[in-house]
Amino acid sequence: MSAYLLLLFAVLSRVVPHPGWMNFTAIGGSLLYFGARRPLREAFWAVALLAGVDYYLTTYAYGYPFHVAGYLTTWLWYAGIVLLGSGMLKTGMPKAGTAQGPQPTGPSTGRIAGAAVLSATSFFLISNFTVWAGSAMYPRSVGGLAACFTAGLPFYRNDLISTSVVAALVFGTPQLISHWSHTPRKPAAGF
């Protein structure tokens, strides 16, 4: 259930205006979490929900005509990030021999950080290449490609920050709670 709630938060982070938040969206982090927590057969629902948001924003919020071909790359990226979350961040096998019995392992900090960087970087590379290749905004040259990627750098920074923050919160908070709830407390001196 938490994966679906986080996905709804991601939708709100795209639909509700929030100026001054560096274009914060929870898309990357929520898709990673969805992939890590839900069966892959449910990935369709995550992609379909975000595709619906793309349609809504394009036609109603921005007033542009909607062309499916213009979004296929993005929708494939959504599915790819769910797969990335499933492959890199799925809860591992229980650890045997601990004092509390078998405990499920969570993804390591390195895996979470790596998945966040791969998510944001792949979107930056794919989306900017698609803009360069599919529009007349930039010349079809190495210089045009470089200009397109340069124009996307502020968005990449914001996406990397957003994805990292969301992933750290959703994967790290349960680990911290679990750690704190299993750490024996020492009685205060003098009592």
pLDDT of 152 > 50? The answer is yes
Q: Of the candidates 42, 44, 49, 43, which has an alpha carbon nearest to the alpha carbon of residue 9?
A: 49
Tell me what the mean pLDDT of segment 11-32 comes to.
88
Contact assessment for residue 76 and residue 30, using Cβ atoms and an 8 Å cutoff: no
82 and 33 Cβ atoms separated by less than 8 Å:
no
Structure tokens at 10: 């991601």
27-31, 83-87, 99-103, 159-163 — which is least confidently predicted? 99-103
Q: What residues pair up with 103 in beta bridges, in sequence order?
A: 95
State how far the Cα of 80 lies from the Cα of 84, in Å rounded to an integer: 6
pLDDT in the model for residue 176: 74
| Each residue's pLDDT tens digit, 35-85 | 999 999 999 999 999 999 999 999 999 999 999 999 999 999 999 999 999
Provide the pLDDT confidence category of residue 178 given band limits of 50, 70 and 90: confident
Bridge partners for 95 per DSSP: 103
Task: Give the H/E segment covering residue 135.
Answer: none
Report the alpha-carbon distance of residue 151 to residue 135 in Å, rounded. 14
Give the pLDDT of residue 93: 43
Whole-structure pTM value: 0.85
pLDDT above 70 for 187: no
Residue 101, Cα to own-chain centre: how many angstroms? 32
Tell me the two tokens of residue 20. Answer: 């001054």
